[in-house]
Structure formats: structure tokens, C-alpha cells
């Protein structure tokens, strides 16, 4: 399809629980990007993939966060042992190129209570 599909739209987790977010990129797009947006403020880059390979992971917290893009499956972002500060909207984008033409999904709102 022509849209980036993110699921679920909303996710509530108790502190310490695991959270897993999914992103189906647009067909034909080689690149997938994850961003974290807290309180409508700037987007913090987390990680990007070129197909199933990590392209840039300079924004990923060293602990607790992991991501994958496997063939024939939605990409995923997983947070182990969530903390209150992880509460944010997580956006996924896909593109044919690394630097432009990004199409964003509608985001997953993660609330850690």
C-alpha cells in the first residue's frame, strides 16, 4: 500500500513491562526509520534500516531498546523493562532513499504507568 502502517495505535504498559511496536513500510521502500516524539516536541532519531540491515543506530539507547526489520515481516521496535520516561509517540517512516522522500506513519502512543 501507499501508507506506512503502525500498530498498535495506543499501548499502555506498567513500568518494567515490555513494549513492542510494529511498522509495515511502503512496498518498494528500502529504508525504515524510527523516531521518538515526546510531548509534541522535536523528533528524536532512534534507528534506521536499509532492508534488514541496520543503517544508523546512533540514536538508540544502549540499554532496553532493540529493533529489527526481517524479510516479509513488519519492522519492530522493542523496549524491555519500560520506564516512565519512555512515554512518547513513536513514529516510523519509510523511504526509497536514506535522505529524502520519507513517508511517516501515524505513530504509536506508548504510555508507561
Partner 1 sequence: GESVGLHLPTLSVQEGDNSIINCAYSNSASDYFIWYKQESGKGPQFIIDIRSNMDKRQGQRVTVLLNKTVKHLSLQIAATQPGDSAVYFCAETVGNNDMRFGAGTRLTVKP
* Residues of the shown chain interacting with partner 1 in the complex, contacts defined by CB under 8 A: 4, 31, 33, 35, 40-43, 45, 48, 55-56, 91, 93, 98-100, 102-107
CA dist., res. 66 & res. 75, Å (int): 11
Q: Which is nearer to partner 1, 79 or 93 (CB)?
A: 93
Nearest approach in angstroms of CB 86 to partner 1 is 19
DSSP one-letter code for 52 = T
Nearest to 61 by CA among 76, 84, 80, 38: 80
Nearest to 35 by CA among 53, 22, 48: 48
Q: Which is nearer to partner 1, 45 or 64 (CB)?
A: 45
Q: Which is nearer to partner 1, 7 or 17 (CB)?
A: 7
- Three cell numbers at 31? 529504508
Nearest approach in angstroms of CB 48 to partner 1 is 5
Amino acid at each position: 500500500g501507499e501508507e506506512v502502517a503502525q500498530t498498535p495505535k495506543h499501548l499502555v504498559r506498567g513500568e518494567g513491562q515490555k513494549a513492542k511496536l510494529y511498522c509495515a513500510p511502503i512496498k518498494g521502500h528500502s529504508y525504515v526509520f524510527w523516531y521518538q516524539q515526546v510531548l509534541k516536541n522535536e523528533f528524536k532519531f532512534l534507528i534506521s534500516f536499509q532492508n534488514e540491515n541496520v543503517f544508523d543506530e546512533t540514536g538508540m539507547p544502549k540499554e532496553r531498546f532493540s529493533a529489527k526489520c526481517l524479510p516479509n515481516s513488519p519492522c519492530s521496535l522493542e523496549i524491555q523493562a519500560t520506564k516512565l520516561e519512555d512515554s512518547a509517540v513513536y513514529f516510523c517512516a519509510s523511504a526509497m532513499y536514506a535522505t529524502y522522500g520519507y513517508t511517516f506513519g501515524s505513530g504509536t502512543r506508548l504510555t508507561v504507568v
